[in-house]
Amino acid sequence: MKIDDWLLEILACPNCRGELKADEATDELVCTGTCKYAYPVRDDIPVLLVDEARTPA
């Protein structure tokens, strides 16, 4: 997964507006805010749709 640092700085979780952190092991962007949703990254493009997010276990 290749996402530029400048892009991660401006992206926010669409659910709670928290900061997103890249998780290279699962190819996801994980919210560090209150919801902790994990958004998939497909072909190096973040899919920031709440319906597509994985909820915390």
d(CA 33, CA 38): 11
Q: How many residues are present in the chain?
A: 57
Q: Per-residue confidence at 2, pLDDT binned at 50, 70, 90? A: confident
Q: What's the whole-number mean pLDDT along residues 27-43?
A: 96
Does the pLDDT value for residue 21 go beyond 90? yes
Look at the pTM and tell me if it is higher than 0.75.
Answer: yes
Neighbours of 23 (CB within 10 A): 14
| Helices within the chain (DSSP H only) | 5-10
**How far is residue 50's CA from residue 29's CA, in Å, rounded to a whole number?**
12
**pLDDT at 57 exceeding the cut of 80:** no
Give yes or no for a contact between 44 and 1, defined as CB atoms under 8 angstroms apart.
yes
Q: Is residue 18 predicted with pLDDT exceeding 90?
A: yes
